[in-house]
Copies of this chain bind each other. A is one copy, B any other.
């Protein structure tokens, strides 16, 4: 593996309400210099995504309107970590806001990047188990639809066009393999 490129210079290029674009000038170990643009992930506190088991067999999916692709998607509950909040607390808060359950057991599965060449930051994937009803008010423009899906039918879910979020597909496979090994 090559030595990591050195950062020669970095500067904010532009900002919008949600997004900050930074230009970073790297010098590679072979002497080549290259300026990259990257999007700085919002807030900086990270993000969490949960594979929440409603019972031994069923995972909690949400059907949510996704403005970026202008379609409804069938995906996993997720959200940004608030400042000062632990990852586990954020996971449990988002579950209560998005599916109306809290979890007594939260297990870390994997830290995933989104598009590591172009976007900073990561999302942490958790397995949430031993759920109990508990509702927190979210800020959704309309109620999210909760869909109970048998994890044994993962192939059928992933064959659907509305289940298309890469990180959620990865998280579902990760959870399935994790549970199968118990």
The answer to whether A68 touches B38, judged by C-beta atoms less than 8 angstroms apart, is yes
Known: A110-B158, A158-B110. A142 touches B177 (CB 8 A): no
Residues from chain B with a CB closer than 8 A to the CB of A71 are: 4, 116
Which of A99-107, A128-136, A163-171 contacts the other chain?
A163-171
- A66-B117, A121-B69, A166-B166 given; A142·B32 CB < 8 A: yes
Copies in the complex: 2
Q: When A29-B142, A142-B28 are in contact, do A119 and B1 touch as well, CB less than 8 Å?
A: no
Q: Which of B67, B113, B142 contacts A2 (CB 8 A)?
A: B142
A48 to chain B, nearest CB (A): 13
A26 close to B (CB within 8 Å):
yes
A49 closest partner in B (C-beta): B166
Closest chain B CB from A153 CB (angstroms): 13
A113: contacting residue among B24, B32, B123, B166, CB under 8 A: B166
